[in-house]
Amino acid sequence: MAHLARRMMLAAAVAGLLSTSLGVAGSGAASAAPRTAARACTITTLPFPADVYRADAQAVDPTGRFAAGTALRVGEEGNQLMLLVWARGRLTTVESPLADSVADVNAHGVVVGNGWIGGHARPWVYRDGKIELLPTPSGYAAAAAINKAGDIVGWGEEPGIWRKVPLRWPAARPGTVEVLEAPAEATPVGITRNGTVVGSAGDFAEWTGWVRYPDGRVEELTVPGARSSVVHAAEGHWAVGRVDLGEANTVKVRWNLRDRSWSRLADELPWVVDVNARGVVVGGDRVVRGTSSRVLPGGGDRVGVGTRAIADTGAIVGFRNDDGRVTPVRWTGC
């Protein structure tokens, strides 16, 4: 998860900002409702420690009350990683060598993320003011998402053969981890409020998206004619990802999980990172409502902005990179 976060930050920081424009028409039946009333779209900087080298907001819960991210303090005796948790804008900081990246935060303010111990990746959970390691099978493991109930999903890799194994840490059985029934080589990336899990599976460049419903039924998430499909996030009855249709670039899409119908997102969207329960999508420096997209404010000459996550309220969190100075931000009314 950490290498993905760094890659996305770098890409967003150097990407050229596009002017606000209308997106393309949807290619399928899955279309989210457009915004019904115009509001002022504003960006604010979230509070962060003044002595850190960089800080980034990486997750927001569906209610918009909680957000979480990480910071890096550079000292003479070495670097210090910090977990940042905002509750209604009020900041709590936790110094920990595990605070390499945040994966998700739920409506109770429980945060999941990933870090490193002795060269081994380890997932963790933050609750009741402290970070605790999640139990894992042997080999690599990572947490990807948490829902309101506290169920966590992620994946592991079997040592030696590096075969991916889908994992779930059930809230009903604290301190345990179980292998999730899913396609071979599956990597879960999202879990919704009702326990629906989404992810991708398969070999490199031959991925297929999938959804696992609460009743255990597993279905493909793809597009007719797609060479491959990758799912990035889900919330409510929506999922987002990208598909390879043989075009110059992969096509960004939104699926309706109720019937697995799909729609093509605006081509101006550089990539997709998150979706909320209303089907509003964010990626790069853009937000997509229905079939239209707009550039978010805050960028400019030598200044880049990037989105990380969106709440059901429409609040968006991410970062601003001002000539190498990375700070956490929040957009509202967009």
| Nearest one of 143, 146, 129 to 62, comparing CA atoms | 146
Joined tokens for residue 302? 């030598």
pTM: predicted TM-score of the whole model, two decimal places: 0.88
pLDDT over threshold 50, residue 173: yes
pLDDT over threshold 50, residue 25: no
pLDDT, residue 16, reads: 36
**Average pLDDT of the chain?**
90
For 73-100, the pLDDT digits (tens) are: 998 778 999 999 999 999 999 999 999 9
pLDDT, residue 323, reads: 93
Which of 156-170, 180-194, 211-225, 235-249 shows the lowest mean pLDDT across its residues?
156-170
pLDDT tier, 33 (very low <50, low <70, confident <90, very high otherwise): low
Mean pLDDT of 51-59: 97
Which domains does the chain show, CATH number per domain? 2-32+44-332 (2.130.10.150)
The residue ranking higher by pLDDT, 139 or 61, is: 61
Distance CA 290, CA 63 (A): 21
Distance CA 112, CA 102 (A): 6
C-alpha angle 159/120/66, rounded to 5°?
120
Distance CA 271, CA 172 (A): 35
pLDDT, residue 231, reads: 99
pLDDT over threshold 50, residue 8: no
pLDDT tier, 158 (very low <50, low <70, confident <90, very high otherwise): confident
Residue with structure tokens 């000459």?
301
- Provide DSSP, 218-244: EEEE--TT-SEEEEEEEETTEEEEEEE
Across the strands, what pairs with 188? 199
pLDDT tier, 207 (very low <50, low <70, confident <90, very high otherwise): very high
Which of 21-30, 162-171, 177-186, 193-202 shows the lowest mean pLDDT across its residues?
21-30
Are 110 and 147 in contact, with CB atoms under 8 Å apart? no
pLDDT, residue 76, reads: 79
Sheet containing strand 54-60, strands side by side: 54-60, 66-75, 78-87, 90-95
pLDDT, residue 34, reads: 59
For 213-265, the pLDDT digits (tens) are: 999 999 999 999 999 999 999 999 999 999 999 999 999 999 999 999 999 99
Across the strands, what pairs with 105? 111
